[in-house]
Every structure is written in C-alpha cells, then in structure tokens.
Amino acid sequence: MLHTLADWLHRYALQLEILLVIVSAFVALYADAIRHFLSLPPQKLSTWILKARLLAVNARLFNLCECQNNAFTTLLYITRTFVLVLILFSLFIGGVFLEVVALRSAARGDTEFYSRFHQNLDISLALVFVVVVCCRLMLLGEFLYRLRNFKGYDQSLMAEIAQLEEKLGIADDEPANSISE
C-alpha cells in the first residue's frame, strides 16, 4: 500500500507541485476571508459565504480607518505582515541549507536518501514559500496604496458593505451582532 502511494506520488509529482503552488497562492491571497469564513458557525453555504465576505470587508474598512487616523496602528499593521514574511523567509533559508546538505550527501554516494521525489518536494516547498511571501507583500502594498488613496476607496467599501447587508437582509436598525448568528 505504501509502495503504491509512493509510486503514485512519483508519477504525478509535477502536477501535484503545480496544484500545491496554486492552492497556496489562493490561500495566501484570501487568508483573511478564509479566517472569517471559518470563524462563523456552520449554516447555509450561500449565507455563510456572504457573512464571511461582509466580515472581511468590514475588517478591511476598520483597518483602513484605524490606520488613517493613527500612525502607530499603521506601523503595527505593517510589522504584523513583516513578522509573517520574516518567519517564512527564515524557513526558506533553513530549507536551502537542508537542500545543500542533502545534495552533498547524494554527491558522496553515501545514501540513496535523496531521490527524485525529494527533489520535487524541495522545489515545491520553495515555490510555496516564495509564492506566499510575494502574495502577502502584494496585499501589504495594496493596503498601503488604499491607505494613501483612502478618501475615494472608503465610499466603495461602504457601498459594498451595504450591498452585502442587503443580500443578507440585514436592516440598519438591527443590532450589529446579527451578523454572527
């Protein structure tokens, strides 16, 4: 059974690498929306998605308003993103060092440990780290661009919030905690 699984992984390694990189890019780009989606209790899927989108847009508007009014909050927001990027970068550098050790062991012929599967795994993990770091930095750049041009963007966010609330049937006179129900 294990040999069959290993053979299947060797045979479809390139397709799995491509799929892994694409999925990691989507998760990195939509991490906040996924976090909001998972934080809500299970319910009808369309309602669940709309509520998650509403929470994500509200959070984006709140973050922009907080950062617009306070330079320290902006610094904290940027620092939070860079901490994630630095952690991923250090893991990437550690992976590069492990790769060098594995290549040196394979070049000496000491072991058959470093196979084609391990090469594919190393390449795909390196690509995942690069893609996630680039996506998070791109989202930070987009946030800072929106912060700089905040005056027009806040109106479009409020319009999107109103549209999502209308789809959910939330009136302005209802309490705000009805979103989490």
Instruction: Tell me whether residue 3 is in a domain.
Output: no
Instruction: Tell me whether residue 122 is in a domain.
Output: yes
The total of structural domains in the chain comes to: 1
Report the percent of the chain where pLDDT is more than 70.
80
Range of the domain at 109: 17-169
Instruction: Give the DSSP letter string of the chain.
Output: -HHHHHHHHHHTHHHHHHHHHHHHHHHHHTHHHHHHHHHSPP--HHHHHHHHHHHHHHHHHHHHHHHHH-HHHHHHHHHHHHHHHHHHHHHHHHHHHHHHHHHHHHHHTS-S-S-HHHHHHHHHHHHHHHHHHHHHHHHHHHHHHHHHTHHHHHHHHHHHHHHHHHHHT--TTS-GGGGG-
Output the pTM of the full model.
0.66
Instruction: Tell me whether residue 123 is in a domain.
Output: yes
pLDDT band of residue 172 (cuts 50, 70, 90) is low
Instruction: Tell me whether residue 78 is in a domain.
Output: yes
The reported pLDDT for the residue numbered 180 is: 47
Instruction: Tell me whether residue 1 is in a domain.
Output: no
pLDDT band of residue 70 (cuts 50, 70, 90) is confident
Instruction: Tell me whether residue 178 is in a domain.
Output: no
The reported pLDDT for the residue numbered 170 is: 74
Instruction: Tell me whether residue 143 is in a domain.
Output: yes
Report the percent of the chain where pLDDT is more than 90.
1
- pLDDT higher at 113 or 124: 124
- Checking if the pLDDT of 178 tops 70, the result is no
The reported pLDDT for the residue numbered 91 is: 80
- Checking if the pLDDT of 113 tops 80, the result is no
